[in-house]
Structure 1
Amino acid sequence: MVLMSEASINASSTPKLGNSTTRIFSDVAGDITIAVHGESFLLHKFPLVARSGKIRKMVGDGKGCSATKFELLNLPGGPQAFELAVKFCYGMNFEITTANVAHLRCVGEYLEMTEEYREENLIARTEMYLNEIVIHSLEKSVQVLVSCEGLSPVAEQVGITDACVEGIAMNACKEQLVSGLSRLDYVGDSPDLKCPTLEWWIEDLSSLQIDFYERVICAMARKGIRPDSIVASLMHYAQASLEGTSKSQFWNPSRPKLSPLALQNHQITIVETLA
């Protein structure tokens, strides 16, 4: 779903462009200024309208050639995601990673960067990365799901969260099968079953916020993950969350630190959800 109503042209007054201005090419004069969350970008129309349907419509609906200042409201990912999308429009090289793919996919949706405007546009490129790289790896699926915090509702609408949840459950199921086979140590004709070890992914799941974690556990149960592994994960998640020892800050450093009161309420929510 494209959020057409969330980008606007202020036809009656100049948008609030903020105090700082970012230039992609400092030695080439720009002909359009776009404000995102208070930060201004001095850019060039042609590379933007060539790939972004939303910006093309904004420019087309403006006051002819005199419309040079626009504002994008509620853009997912904020100025950082927009700057990466702009670099993509300009053909500048940067790496799509587990840390930025969700932001790029969401900002691509917001800016309508579809194949209708240019082949191998941002939506297609990020979908390829998600489908070919992320969902085949449990760890990468967790990392991308963590990065989806703050990207709702767009991340939900474009299917990133569901894909990551299913990817985690599917890969955990594969891990369970492989680890089960590896524990069989054949001695002659009699298999000797080794003692099971703690699933390595249990610690990774502790980095998820509680609503994502709950969805992952439900998906794992549907896929047939062993009950003892799920119980071990629940216990570890509760302990890591209450003690503040999860990987969440490492994988999502932008996650705000909670005040003592907010932390207490958060811990109560976790206990009530897992009970």
Structure 2
Amino acid sequence: MEGACVLEVDVNGEEKFFVDKNVLSRFSGRLSKLFGKTSVTGTSKTLKVIFHGLPGGPDAFELMTKFCYNNGSIQITPINTLLLHFIAHFMEMTHDLIMQTEKSLECIPYWTWCETLIAFQQCQEFFQASNSSGVLDKIIDSLVRRIVTASDTSPLSSSPDSSALRLSFDTRSTLSMRNSNHPSSWFEDLLILNSDTIEKFINCMVSRKVDHSTISRFLFYYLKHRNLNAPTDEKRKTTEIIIGLFYSLDTDSFSFKSLFGILRMSSSLDLSKCCRSRLESMVGSQIDEATLDSLLVSAADQGMQCLYDVNLVLRFLKYFLQSSVQICVKRLKKVGSLMDLYITEVAPDPKLKPSKFVALITALPDSSRESHDAMYRAIDMYLQVHSGLAQEEKMKICCAINYEKLSSESCKHLAGNSKFPSRTGIQALISQHSKLKNLLQVQDTNYLRKFRNSTHKEQQLNDTENEQVILYAKRVDISMEDDKLKAHLEGMQWKAMELEKICSKIQNQMTRIMKIKLCSPNGGLRSLPKLCS
């Protein structure tokens, strides 16, 4: 071409273009300013320009050259709008191209789901340009609005295993969704979200009032598939981001089982201390949904000598008690029953320190247990294995027992259990004696109340039939009531004598135990049975 000046353009080190400098400078203010200050000397007319970080890359530059060579005209579609928009601003193109791209961006709500996804991918590839220009926010808002519309017309089931959710992962349903303007399934399509955009996307969903259960199901799905074949560093980064997003959702939008799965999966990822604390607090707040097997986490990975990671369970309990100002009694008792099973399982561990065992059995308030029989059995097993404990350590452990919540059988067994300090046996007997005394008082009170109620009813009957009482007063045998009262009193005396006999037997038994302990050189301790495996 006569008078043409060849310009070599290196775009981001990815591709080179040879173009006419004069044609491009006519529409590009950036090139016009650049060459307006540069004089071409010598016989060579070839110039070279290197662009670093050109938004849109080679594809965008090629679209720009078509626009320039076509005398400032190009067809703008949803597929090329963003690329043209990015390079128009970067290359300081004529105002006409910028106006056309901005007009096209106003039509984002009318683009198809597939077109919007392609535009979203372009935003991710050139995040800095799309984020600073506000285009990324518009694309995300459009996608979220479509999800909200689809959820309103065909809401997903609240169950993660529901057929509706399984269909959302089906390839055929996803393909059919891509041909529609209102997607009813989007989990698989949004796996394209990266670490730069996932937070903005979820925050937009929250602001648009998308159901938190739906968001949490998507996050579980996203984490599972993104970490499938990813390197360790990427897994760690993705997991920490997802945990942070879970932390911003309602706690009832995810289950203990799902969160505990993330905890197990992330044990080898070396998460930050803050991130792991957040995850453990969410898991701990729902520990009432746990099973015994899920809590029996091996301590080998943490470098501890004991069999199970009791520190993790203690942290769970701490977060559970902190999760609410007033915990539901039903939930608290459910955790109490779970911990009875747990301490029974870990008690035979010879490496479990007394301080950790005491922390386990005292972690929950007394109201969490109706009975302390299970705790007594766990302590019995622990003392059987740790026979060398000092009396002070044994007393610290036994202080966790509420003797009032021990059954008669457990009290009787404890009174003759040589593994326990002698004071605990005395306390058990005192508790049992108190129970018997209270039982007698209750029976007496119940009889008197019954007798008074009976007398009151008879008095009311006499008041309503006053005339008949007067007519037949001479025929009433008052001695019958006296005989009835006398019989009841004799029965009560008999019961009192029986209870006194029982108390006497217990006291004799305790005296005999104390004499054996004082007289025996070994303190009356019997040989310990072998620990059951």
SS at match of 1:202: coil
SS at match of 2:9: strand
Distance 1:40 1:242 in 2: 36
1:204 to 172, 189, 203: 189
Distance 1:100 1:129 in 2: 10
TM-score (norm. length: structure 2): 0.36
Distance 1:40 1:65 in 2: 23
Question: Is the deviation greater in 212-221 or in 83-92?
Answer: 83-92
In the TM superposition, what is the alpha-carbon distance from 1:33 to its structure 2 partner?
0.6
Question: Are the counterparts in 2 of residues 76 and 154 from structure 1 also a CA contact under 8 Å?
Answer: yes
* Structure with the larger RCO, 1 or 2 (CA within 8 Å, 6+ apart): 1
Could you tell me which residue of structure 1 aligns to residue 9 of structure 2?
35
Question: Are the counterparts in 2 of residues 141 and 168 from structure 1 also a CA contact under 8 Å?
Answer: yes
Which one has a larger percent strand, Structure 1 or Structure 2? Answer: 1
CA 1:208–1:95 in structure 2 vs 1: closer, same or farther (change >3 Å)?
A: farther
Could you tell me which residue of structure 2 aligns to residue 250 of structure 1?
none
Cα deviation per residue 1:43-79 (whole Å; 9 max; x = unaligned)? 2244322321111211212116877514142222333
Cα deviation per residue 1:144-170 (whole Å; 9 max; x = unaligned)? 222223313222222221111111222
Question: Is the deviation greater in 219-228 or in 47-56?
Answer: 47-56
1:68-87 aligned at under 5 Å gives the runs: 69-74=47-52, 75-87=54-66
Question: Are the counterparts in 2 of residues 33 and 40 from structure 1 also a CA contact under 8 Å?
Answer: no
CA 1:222–1:136 in structure 2 vs 1: closer, same or farther (change >3 Å)?
A: farther
In the TM superposition, what is the alpha-carbon distance from 1:135 to its structure 2 partner?
6.5
Distance 1:136 1:84 in 2: 21
Question: Are the counterparts in 2 of residues 99 and 144 from structure 1 also a CA contact under 8 Å?
Answer: yes
Distance 2:112 2:163 in 1: 22
CA 1:142–1:178 in structure 2 vs 1: closer, same or farther (change >3 Å)?
A: same
SS at match of 1:149: helix
Question: Are the counterparts in 2 of residues 206 and 241 from structure 1 also a CA contact under 8 Å?
Answer: yes
Question: Are the counterparts in 1 of residues 202 and 215 from structure 2 also a CA contact under 8 Å?
Answer: yes
Matched, 1:157 2:124: no
In the TM superposition, what is the alpha-carbon distance from 1:196 to its structure 2 partner?
8.3
Distance 1:208 1:98 in 2: 20
TM-score (norm. length: structure 1): 0.66
Distance 2:118 2:55 in 1: 18
| 2:238 counterpart letter in structure 1 | I
Distance 1:196 1:223 in 2: 25
Question: Are the counterparts in 2 of residues 136 and 167 from structure 1 also a CA contact under 8 Å?
Answer: no
1:132 to 100, 104, 107: 107
Question: Are the counterparts in 2 of residues 30 and 43 from structure 1 also a CA contact under 8 Å?
Answer: no
Could you tell me which residue of structure 1 aligns to residue 116 of structure 2?
141
Cα deviation per residue 1:160-190 (whole Å; 9 max; x = unaligned)? 211111112222222222325xx9xxxxxxx
Question: Are the counterparts in 2 of residues 34 and 43 from structure 1 also a CA contact under 8 Å?
Answer: yes
Question: Are the counterparts in 1 of residues 29 and 91 from structure 2 also a CA contact under 8 Å?
Answer: yes
2:141 to 166, 173, 180: 166
Matched, 1:269 2:237: yes
CA 1:214–1:135 in structure 2 vs 1: closer, same or farther (change >3 Å)?
A: farther
Distance 2:130 2:2 in 1: 35
Q: CA RMSD in A?
A: 3.2
Could you tell me which residue of structure 1 aligns to residue 23 of structure 2?
47
Question: Are the counterparts in 2 of residues 85 and 107 from structure 1 also a CA contact under 8 Å?
Answer: yes
Distance 1:127 1:206 in 2: 28
SS at match of 1:164: helix
Taking only the aligned residue pairs, the percentage that are identical comes to: 25
1:237 to 214, 217, 222: 222
Distance 1:53 1:98 in 2: 25
Matched, 1:59 2:35: yes
| 2:70 counterpart letter in structure 1 | G
Matched, 1:109 2:89: yes
CA 1:97–1:239 in structure 2 vs 1: closer, same or farther (change >3 Å)?
A: farther
Could you tell me which residue of structure 2 aligns to residue 228 of structure 1?
213
| 1:73 counterpart letter in structure 2 | F
Which one has a larger percent helix, Structure 1 or Structure 2? Answer: 2
SS at match of 1:33: strand
Distance 1:234 1:84 in 2: 37
SS at match of 1:148: helix
In the TM superposition, what is the alpha-carbon distance from 1:140 to its structure 2 partner?
3.0
Question: Are the counterparts in 1 of residues 5 and 22 from structure 2 also a CA contact under 8 Å?
Answer: no
Could you tell me which residue of structure 1 aligns to residue 199 of structure 2?
214
Cα deviation per residue 1:4-48 (whole Å; 9 max; x = unaligned)? xxxxxxxxxxxxxxxxxxxxxxx8884131322354433224432
CA 1:176–1:203 in structure 2 vs 1: closer, same or farther (change >3 Å)?
A: same
Structure 2 runs not aligned, ≥5 long? 166-183, 244-533
SS at match of 2:8: strand
In the TM superposition, what is the alpha-carbon distance from 1:95 to its structure 2 partner?
5.9
CA 1:82–1:161 in structure 2 vs 1: closer, same or farther (change >3 Å)?
A: same
Question: Are the counterparts in 2 of residues 31 and 42 from structure 1 also a CA contact under 8 Å?
Answer: no
SS at match of 2:216: helix
In the TM superposition, what is the alpha-carbon distance from 1:131 to its structure 2 partner?
2.4
Number of corresponding residues: 215
- Structure exhibiting the larger radius of gyration computed from Cα positions: 2
